[in-house]
């Protein structure tokens, strides 16, 4: 029985030692609670019993002797040095004798000239700070005899007393010594090479620098007390580590290799929402503002716990993903972490939200700090519309909303309708994401049949999350014809026969191919509505409409018409004439991409209004962002040929054009032929480069607006070397030239920058 009792007591004591410090008289949040919790875990401090810590209580010199001895790693010396007291007022049987003797012998806390120590005397702030500085290796030789002011100043310089207000001779509280000591433990001991942290005296170790990639909140592959880092998987002592996910730190490890604290690297960074990736450029939003950055193919990006290059992750990056981006001390890109964490969903929304919703499906929403990201942009709950597809990241408290829909003819179920996992809709294959979609498209009562006209609701991966009737949402049946013609059918049922087709860019920014009743090649660049007959799509041309007037980006109006919350804006870059070859070219744009203040009728190709509200649902512009042009430098020119530098690459084109060698140009290139070449206007600039970001560049005292895809070239040794916007400031620029499509006062943007160093 005695043996069993001893075991039970040992287990009880072990449990007490390993329970995270939680006291009824210490608030759970803030610096104090974390510092107290850690120091209790380190064995430096303890509670007063019955769950109390007494944070505002004072501290005696004897208690400080124990604290300092443990921090100095001298606890074993204290145990062996408790037999005889070296001070007249400290009894040999006192609990603190060994600690006091050890602290005094190591010049950490000194006694008084009369041979006493005054163990029960309350400790002042000045005395406590003096002890902490001695532990950090500072002495009279370092700080002089101006006590306590020199010591107070040094503690402030080391950020040990930040946020603490005190008088030099005030009694220090238990919570304040916890905070000061906690900070000191992660400070460097003076004169150690390589630098050594104070906590390392206590048999704790500091890891090499690493990145915390995930905890169990973000990865189901981790246990509840594990974290994944770039140097391995570790156990954690408490949840304060969760705040450092994606950040670069050094780990403070206990003797059993458990993470008890971290030392942050002091990074600068930002959380962004990815919109798109085109080549080396990534468009994003940050707190609702649009931005872009260029990354090299070798830029480091961590994805799902693995180190990758930007080139390797391009294919998995999707609109709406969040990414943490960090920079080095010189402002250059360091690394990024794609926060592709576990989410609830997809959930189909069948009626528009009014903004007062407290749940999504069966999942309660956390109202405080809730973010809504719709189609890659910051939004509100009330922006969520019927037939949107929603996912909820309950860790980051973000709702991701997707609005992509495609309509067409349900042509085939794969591998069969009885066990459907994919379908072919109007010639395009779509993978199913949900069981509910499989039921609506499989062999079930009430399911859709082959040759039915349906609308697919697409989720975050472009997979089918839901299915509705084709007339459930108007926008899904409009698009712009890119090309058309005839071809030999690849379909098993019609293989070898001739069929007509059209490629369509839908207003939801997806490409679809439809089988048609005839050749509609002359419709290239025209907006159409889909109608279906006998399994064929019969395009109906949108009637010609006129729209002009002011663009009010702040109130989201165009020509006096308000835009719907999810209005689609498309720029028609190129529409071939009937006798020309090639495809029409279009791209989705944002209202902020339009730099002119007023529209003329020639700026608008077509638009559609909501029949109920009169608001514009989608609008097709006629090359309003100059999308048909590429921007670069005319590198070389002969009577019959010119060499252009575009996106850092040289290409030769036949033809005679007016710009001269060395000029910045805008080129219309279709089917690998140079159709049009114009010189950009050089802006008069004075002064040197002062600042630059994704929106503008400052030369001298003037700011000039930049296009999102501005091309930058270093002119050196008669060659043009492409430079990223983020690296421009790192050059010692001698001269700089700016080229715009027109004057900024008339809505022009800087398209090309050249400089010498």
* CA distances from residue 35 to 54, 167, 207, 664 in whole angstroms, order as listed: 14, 22, 21, 60
Whether pLDDT at 605 is above 80: yes
Which pLDDT score is estimated for 4? 35
Look at residue 12 in the predicted model and tell me its pLDDT. 34
In angstroms, rounded to a whole number, what is the distance separating the alpha carbons of residues 63 and 121? 10
Please state the rounded mean pLDDT for residues 519-526. 92
pLDDT of residue 30: 66
| pLDDT on residue 482 | 93
CA angle at 73 for the pair 69 and 74, rounded to the nearest 5°: 55
Q: Give percent of the chain above pLDDT 90.
A: 46
Q: How confident is the model at residue 474 (pLDDT cuts 50, 70, 90)?
A: low
Residue 2 CA to residue 8 CA, distance in Å, equals 10
Average pLDDT over residues 573-602: 85
Q: Which residue has the higher pLDDT, 489 or 3?
A: 489
For residues 320 and 459, is the Cβ–Cβ distance under 8 A?
Answer: no
User: For the segment 272-330, what is each residue's pLDDT rounded down to a tens digit?
Assistant: 888 888 888 898 888 767 888 889 999 999 988 889 999 999 988 877 788 999 998 88
Start-end of H helices in 508-635: none
Q: Quick check: 19 pLDDT over 50?
A: no
pLDDT digits (tens, 9 = 90+) for 113-132: 999 999 999 999 999 999 99
Going by their DSSP bridges, the two strands 561-574 and 616-622 should be labelled as parallel
CA angle 253, 258, 260 (to 5 degrees): 60
Residues 448 and 473: their CA atoms lie apart, in Å, by 17
Residue 82: band (very low, low, confident or very high) from pLDDT cuts 50, 70, 90? low
| Bridge partners, 214 (sequence order) | 228
Q: How confident is the model at residue 473 (pLDDT cuts 50, 70, 90)?
A: low
For the stretch 43-61, pLDDT in tens is 999 888 888 999 999 999 9
Pick the CATH number of 268-338 from 2.60.120, 2.40.50, 1.10.3470, 2.60.40: 2.40.50
Which sequence spans correspond to the domains of the chain? Answer: 2-191, 204-264, 268-338, 344-402, 549-622, 682-756
Mean pLDDT across 358-368: 86
> How high is the pLDDT of residue 3?
36
d(CA 298, CA 308): 9
- Is pLDDT at 428 greater than 50 in this prediction? yes
Most confident segment among 243-257, 590-604, 613-627: 243-257
**Is residue 14's pLDDT more than 70?**
no
Confidence at residue 20, expressed as pLDDT on a 0 to 100 scale: 41
The average pLDDT across 103-121 equals 93
Give the pLDDT mean for 722-726: 87
Higher-pLDDT residue of 83 and 200 is 200
């Amino acid at each position: 029985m005695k043996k069993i009792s001893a075991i039970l007591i040992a287990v009880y004591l072990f449990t007490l030692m390993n329970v995270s410090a939680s006291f009824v008289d210490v608030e759970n949040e803030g610096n104090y609670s974390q510092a107290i919790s850690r120091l209790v875990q380190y064995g430096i401090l303890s509670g007063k019993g019955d769950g109390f810590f007494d944070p505002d209580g004072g501290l005696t010199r004897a208690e400080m002797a124990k604290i300092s001895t443990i921090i100095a790693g001298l606890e074993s010396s204290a145990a062996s040095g408790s037999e005889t007291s070296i001070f007249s007022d400290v009894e040999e049987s006192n609990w603190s004798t060994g600690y006091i003797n050890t602290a005094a012998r190591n010049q950490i806390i000194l006694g008084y000239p009369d041979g006493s120590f005054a163990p029960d005397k309350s400790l002042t702030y000045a005395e406590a700070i003096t002890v902490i500085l001695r532990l950090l290796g500072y002495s009279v030789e370092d700080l002089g005899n101006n006590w306590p002011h020199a010591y107070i100043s040094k503690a402030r310089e080391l950020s040990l007393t930040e946020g603490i207000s005190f008088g030099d001779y005030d009694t220090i509280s238990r919570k304040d010594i916890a905070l000061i000591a906690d900070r000191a433990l992660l400070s460097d001991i003076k004169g150690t090479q390589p630098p050594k942290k104070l906590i390392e005296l206590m048999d704790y170790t500091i890891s090499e620098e690493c990145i915390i990639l995930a905890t169990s909140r973000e990865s189901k592959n981790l246990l509840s007390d594990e974290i994944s880092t770039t140097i391995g998987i570790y156990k954690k002592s408490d949840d304060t580590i969760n705040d450092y996910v994606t950040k670069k730190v050094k780990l403070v490890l206990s003797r059993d290799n458990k993470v008890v604290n971290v030392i942050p690297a002091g990074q600068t960074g930002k959380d962004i929402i990815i919109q798109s990736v085109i080549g080396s450029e990534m468009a994003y939003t940050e707190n609702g503002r649009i931005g872009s950055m260029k990354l090299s193919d070798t830029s480091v990006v961590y994805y799902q716990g693995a180190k990758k290059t930007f080139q390797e992750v391009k294919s998995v990056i999707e609109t709406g993903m969040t990414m943490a981006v960090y920079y080095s001390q010189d402002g250059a890109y360091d690394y990024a972490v794609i926060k592709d964490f576990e989410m609830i969903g997809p959930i189909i929304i069948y009626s528009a939200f009014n903004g007062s919703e407290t749940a999504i499906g069966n999942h309660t929403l956390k109202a405080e700090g809730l973010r809504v990201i719709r189609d890659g942009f910051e939004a509100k709950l009330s922006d969520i519309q019927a037939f949107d597809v929603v996912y909820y990241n309950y860790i980051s408290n973000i709702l991701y909303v997707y609005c992509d829909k495609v309509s067409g003819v349900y042509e085939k179920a794969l591998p069969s309708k009885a066990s459907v996992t994919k379908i072919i809709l109007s010639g395009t294959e779509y993978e199913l994401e949900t069981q509910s979609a499989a039921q609506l498209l499989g062999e079930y009562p009430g399911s859709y049949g082959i040759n039915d006209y349906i609308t697919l609701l697409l989720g975050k991966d472009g997979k089918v999350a839901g299915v509705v009737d084709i007339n459930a949402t108007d926008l899904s049946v409009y698009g712009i014809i890119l090309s058309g013609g005839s071809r030999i059918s690849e379909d098993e049922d019609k293989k070898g026969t001739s069929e007509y087709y059209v490629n369509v860019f839908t207003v939801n920014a997806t490409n679809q191919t439809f089988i048609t009743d005839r050749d509609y090649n002359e419709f290239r660049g025209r907006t159409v509505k889909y109608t279906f007959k006998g399994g064929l799509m019969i395009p109906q041309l949108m009637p010609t409409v006129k729209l002009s007037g002011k663009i009010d980006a702040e109130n989201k109006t165009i020509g006096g018409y308000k835009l719907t919350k999810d209005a689609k804006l498309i720029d028609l870059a190129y529409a071939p004439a009937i006798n020309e070859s090639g495809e029409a070219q279009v791209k989705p744009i944002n209202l902020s991409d339009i730099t002119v203040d007023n529209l003329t009728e020639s700026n608008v190709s077509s638009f559609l209004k909501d029949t109920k509200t009169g608001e514009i649902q989608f609008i097709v512009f006629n090359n309003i962002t100059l999308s048909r042009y590429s921007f670069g430098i005319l590198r070389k020119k002969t009577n019959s040929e010119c060499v252009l530098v575009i996106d850092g690459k040289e290409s030769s084109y036949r033809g005679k054009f007016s710009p001269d060698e060395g000029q910045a140009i805008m080129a219309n290139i279709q089917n690998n032929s140079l159709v049009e070449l114009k010189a950009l206007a050089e802006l008069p600039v004075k002064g040197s480069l002062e600042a630059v970001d994704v929106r503008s560049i400052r030369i001298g005292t003037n700011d000039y607006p930049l296009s999102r895809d501005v091309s930058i070239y270093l002119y050196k040794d008669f060659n043009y070397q492409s430079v990223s916007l983020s690296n421009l400031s790192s050059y010692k620029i001698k001269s700089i030239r700016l080229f715009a499509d027109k004057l900024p006062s008339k809505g022009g943007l800087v398209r090309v920058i050249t400089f010498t160093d």
